[in-house]
Amino acid sequence: MGRDGESGVYNRCAALGTTMRPTWAEISLTNLQHNFATIRDYVAPNATVCAIVKANAYGHGAAPCAKALQKEGAKWFGVTSTEEGVLLRKAGITGHILLCSGFWRGEEEAVLEHNLTPVVWDWNHIELLENVAEKMDRAPESVAVHLKIDTGMSRLGIPIADLPQMIEILQSAHSVMLEGVMTHLASAEVSDAPDVDAQIMRFDDACVTITTAGLTPTYFHVANSAGICTRESALKNMVRPGIGLYGYFMPVMSIITGTPDHSRELPVMPVLAWKTRIMALRDVGARQPISYNGSYVTQAPARIAVLPVGYADGLNRHLSSRGRVIVRGDFANIVGTVTMDMTMIDVTGMPGVDVGDEVILIGESGKRKITAWDIAGHAQTVPYEVLCGISARVPRVYID
């Protein structure tokens, strides 16, 4: 295409308000609300849903997603840190906010000021909260906490052997009140994993120990998205869906058969679509090296499109000469190395392709679809990382 032709396309893009770097993610809040309602109805009336919106809502945008979920009826939200919780409060979230990874020393005052609910597993947590509650003249049993039990994940949580001492500390606390007890499953997506059964049994025993001692927590929670589908015994009176809210489930696997059982997954819909536009076209000859180090060489004359998206945007380098995108309703292969800011695709033989055309990285067009699972397969990772890895420089556009 000549200079005048390119200018004409750029002028049309400008008229459409697309003069900024055209790589963006579209977030369907309608799909998000549908997914929440699907999970809520599945566990109703026995369980409350704590919607996990940590890590910027798995890359979807924590504040807009939490607002949409609150509008749909969510009363609980799960985040990783005090900072994430405070941001939700400032965005207008009025429901309970659970700090799933606890809090750091020095954050306890912010925890109380913003009415956040910390997860605890160490006596120091209780001491810090008690001290700041006394300083702020808080009423007795006004600081709610959820106690995390390490039942076998060996990551966070109080060891079972230390539980009696923690019970004594909680019993003697003045302002801190045990509102919930929780654990985390290591193999929730494996339907017949014996370690999951063992973890649930340890958790149930710990809860008996806690209640027998006279403590009266309201909530008991074990199940994440996979646990909701795989283990009825994990469905206590609260569940913590994360990836399921955003339209994905880890495949439910069986140790015995080694095959996924998709029938156990709930009918959720992907919330995010990731798009860009063609910024340049190049007609090249046969045996032409493409991208850094000539990592791809054409076998015949080809038409190469350049996309303004790269690994700095979160497009994994493992997609180099391996992944694909959707252009004009059909697949086009990524060729050469995915670079920091740009990626090349082969559009040879695709009629009408032009600068400014929309390109789908995640999403669907007609009969073609690319999911976070597809990218994860090429990158040898999981959809969690794909979605969370879409960088902050990619604007999120909320289409509903």
| Angstrom distance (rounded) from CA 264 to CA 241 | 15
* Among 306, 365, 271, residue whose Cα is nearest residue 21: 306
H or E, element range at 66: helix 62-72
* Among 88, 118, 84, 86, residue whose Cα is nearest residue 100: 118
DSSP state of 162: G
Catalytic residue among 75, 246, 292, 367: 292
Catalytic residue among 54, 67, 236, 275: 54
| Angstrom distance (rounded) from CA 122 to CA 392 | 34
Whether 54 is catalytic is yes
CA 314 from chain centre, in angstroms, equals 14
- What is the length of the chain? 400
DSSP state of 253: B
CB neighbour class for 248 (10 Å; exposed up to 12, middle 13-18, buried from 19) = buried
146's tokens: 């959820």
CB neighbour class for 367 (10 Å; exposed up to 12, middle 13-18, buried from 19) = exposed
- Per the CB < 8 A criterion, the answer to whether 318 and 385 are in contact is no
| Angstrom distance (rounded) from CA 76 to CA 56 | 16
**Could you tell me which residues come within 8 angstroms of residue 35 by beta carbon, excluding any fewer than 6 positions away?**
244, 245, 246, 247, 268, 269, 271
What separation in angstroms does the CA of 17 have from each of 10, 26, 249, 281? 11, 16, 36, 22
Whether 311 is catalytic is no
| Angstrom distance (rounded) from CA 229 to CA 190 | 10
- Per the CB < 8 A criterion, the answer to whether 246 and 53 are in contact is no
Catalytic residues: 54, 292
